[in-house]
Structure 1
């Protein structure tokens, strides 16, 4: 059984953790609309963030830091997935700097979150994680937090990004 924590509360993660070099289908509802679509890819690599809810301080900081990286490293694509409604993601984007991040909602069927193995069973929200996928959507970097309320290690992510340039 795979687990994550919110404070001291142990929670289970659905399915299997995505393996290195395993392909993941990236689809959901892009912010502002409810139509399901695959993530638009233009570059060889995409950085993907997953988080519980856009309206929490740790998630906000995760997105803001990723937005900064999207401006610093334009040779990558960027996407995020949560179970926030697409309209909530649009409201967030209207009031915050999101850079080149495509904000996706996986509220409909949780297929992307389950593909990564980061859907929290008891709450039906995402664990906090960061991934880098290659042009075939195969995982080349992953970081899944044990503690949902802890921020991801952006230094580790950025080091991997530098290696891939």
Structure 2
């Protein structure tokens, strides 16, 4: 379990984020077209996993916009934006914002991603949603960057996340 903050108040998560050197667990998430996507579907590509509570909040939306912008030009790299938002809300957001360089995936069906990756918040006002975190994986699914953002209201460290990919 990790302890993070929401507005200065302690929040607990279901576990801890995979660490650098770990193999990321596979998952079964829902794409915007309601199809199932697994981590193994992205094997052979480098993957940035931008994990957050809800696309309908300012900081979460900003992280999607920034990773969309920064993903342009990164070779063999996929950006996965993962939340418990319904796929319809994710689709609306990327359509309204003209975002083309990320793949939105939803953990709304069974919530196992949040548990398996240790990001499900188990206390506080946002209990049940994902904490803000970033994982970067190499082509074989090994973690090369891991950040559990300590305060939900803060943006992730984009430069540190992108550094292993440059």
TM-score above 0.5, yes or no = yes
Cα distance in 1 between the residues matched to 2:149 and 2:98: 24
Count of paired positions: 161
Task: Give the Cα–Cα distance (whole angstroms) in 2 for the partners of residues 132 and 124 of structure 1.
Answer: 23
**CA drift at 1:42:** 6.3
Q: CA RMSD in A?
A: 1.7
**1:115: how far off?**
2.4
CA offsets per residue over residues 91-150 of structure 1, 9 Å max, x none?
Answer: 111101323211000111222222221111131111111111122322111111010110
* TM-score (ref. length: structure 2): 0.88
CA contact (8 A) 2:51 2:134 kept: yes
Unaligned 5+ segments in structure 1 are none
Distance, in Å, in 1 between the alignment partners of 2:56 and 2:16 is: 27
From 136, 144, 147, the counterpart of 1:143: 147
| Cα separation, 2, equivalents of 1:119 and 1:151 | 18
Q: TM-score, normalised by structure 1?
A: 0.88
Structure 2 spans left out of the alignment, 5+ residues: none
The 3-state SS of whatever aligns with 1:99 is coil
Runs of 4+ in structure 1 off by over 4 angstroms are: none
- CA–CA separation in structure 2 for the residues paired with 1:17 and 1:144: 7
Q: Report the counterpart of residue 117 of structure 1 in structure 2.
A: 118
